[in-house]
Chains A and B, each alone.
Chain A
Amino acid sequence: MSNFFTLLSASHVAQGIIVGAVLAFLTAQVIMNAVVKAMTTTVNGWSTTVKAGQPGNGILVRAACARILPAVNVVQEAAYWTATEDSAGRALSGRHEYVLHFPAGQLPPNEAFWSLTMTDVVGYMTPNPIARYSVGSRSGLAPNADGSIDIYIQRTPPAGHESNWLPAPSGNFKLMLRAYLPGRAVLDGAYHVPPVKRVR
């Protein structure tokens, strides 16, 4: 072992390899982050990609997908959108209250189910008093008179709208919207998730 360290300190060869390898590792990270950015489209604060798991991805795209979306479905099976900012580009936080307004007929098109999940900024679910971690097609959302649907994203229950409440944690958070067996409009890129508007 001590021979190893002697070699390291004395040998420019060993040091060259180590320095080169570390720089290579960091450069690969920077490149993968850039590819992630390039393959992600963001509309109304919601980010999504259609590349995950697809056959024929090049070296860069498959590395980037393995970094941020390993084992994720192809988009034909499930579409995923994440948001960490509101419609004005401010970080989503439990200190504020938000409404996600789906106009009539504008819920995420799907042939299986859709769901909107609350997580912390890393992606883990956060505890809340009513143990509700998502709302969606199976949660009995109450529509407005015009057929639109409002989802109330906040820490405290919205009076009179408890069925449409997605409880938020105290700190910053991330929203994930998923549509399983997404409809043609999603695959075509024609469907856009509405913005998350801060109301208080």
Chain B
Amino acid sequence: MNRLILKYGYPITFVILAILAWVVYRIFSAGGSGVIGFVVLAAVVWGVGTVVFLYLWPTFAYSAYKRAILQHGPGGPIPVNTLYATPNRVSAGASNASLLATGVDDLLYVGGWLDLANGPLVLHVPEMAGRYYSVQFTDPSDGTDFAYVGTRTTGTAAGEYLISGPSWKGTVPQGMAQITSPNKSVLVIGRVFVESDSDLPTAYGLAKQIRLTPLSH
């Protein structure tokens, strides 16, 4: 779909504008009192609509991720509040099916969509022994990467992190760092470095251990 839009974006735009021009021409040639109303209404919708489209654009873009994760997924739908690890690196053969990224062949991806409305989740990460990895938390309403767990921010030791929604008020279990999400929906993307084909089983084993559980009481 993206490919088609990129390829035919200009012709499609031209056709749309031509149809609009024809509609406007029909209205003006018909004349009458409706013309002014039409022009005013179109201008107002144009101005307000432009701001609305810009404001909501991140939500549109990330809802495509939500659909892709929850309904299709790389290996079948990924249930909400769970993470899926891709078993293989991206290659040319897999290009059209790849969900999360293209042009990256030194990482395994972990992905999932969170809904924190029913309470916080615990992110478990295994001992990575110095291996580069990251788990990125993105607010789908504005695209902000509001938190990271990983080599850069928390190191490569095993750990547990509490991910809570904006309105949750509870006690954070001992030994867990809290990550507060500004939104009850969260896009999670994990990345685990793969050194080589022979390193792939180890990297995949670690990527699978990056997982979520509900906070048990």
Contact = CB atoms under 8 A, between A and B. Distances in A.
Contact residues of B: prevailing secondary structure:
helix
Given A20-B44, A126-B92, A138-B106, A66 B62 contact: yes
Interface string A32-71: 1000000000000000000011111101101101110011
B8 interface: no
Given A66-B61, A138-B106, A181-B132, A25 B49 contact: yes
A113 B106 contact: yes
Contacts of B195: 138
Contacts of B43: 20
Which of B93, B95, B96: most chain A CB closer than 10 A?
B95
A5 interface: no
Contact of B65 (A24, A62, A70): A70
Interface string B74-94: 000000000000000011110
Contact of B45 (A24, A124, A125, A136): A24
Contact of A65 (B44, B93, B143, B189): B143
B103 A119 contact: yes
Contacts of A25: 49, 53
A124 B96 contact: yes
A13 B95 CA distance: 45
Given A66-B61, A71-B187, A124 B103 contact: yes
A22 B43 CA distance: 11
B16 interface: yes
- Chain A, interface size: which category? 35 or more
- Chain B, interface size: which category? 35 or more
B171 interface: no
Contacts of A13: 37-38, 41
A70 B105 CA distance: 19
Contacts of B158: none
A119 B6 CA distance: 15
B75 to A, nearest CB: 19
A180 interface: yes
Given A66-B58, A70-B61, A122-B2, A16 B41 contact: yes
B110 to A, nearest CB: 13
Contacts of A71: 62, 65, 100, 136, 138, 143, 187, 189
A134 B106 CA distance: 9
Contacts of A20: 41-46, 49
Contacts of B151: 112, 181
Contact of B58 (A56, A62, A73, A74): A62
Which of A16, A25, A56, A133: most chain B CB closer than 10 A?
A16
Contact residues of A: prevailing secondary structure:
mixed
Interface stretch (B20-28, B162-170, B172-180): B20-28
Contact of A125 (B27, B46, B90): B90
A134 B195 CA distance: 12
A67 B96 CA distance: 19
B50 interface: yes
Which of A63, A122, A176: most chain B CB closer than 10 A?
A63
A91 to B, nearest CB: 16
A4 to B, nearest CB: 16
Contacts of B53: 24-25, 28
A22 B132 contact: no
Interface of B: 2-3, 6, 13, 16-17, 20, 23-24, 27, 34-35, 37-50, 52-55, 57-58, 60-62, 65, 90-93, 95-96, 100, 102-106, 132, 134, 136, 138, 142-146, 148, 150-152, 187, 189, 193, 195-196
Given A21-B49, A23-B20, 16 more contacts: A13-B38, A15-B27, A16-B37, A24-B48, A27-B50, A53-B144, A62-B57, A63-B57, A73-B136, A112-B193, A115-B106, A117-B104, A131-B92, A133-B91, A134-B106, A181-B132
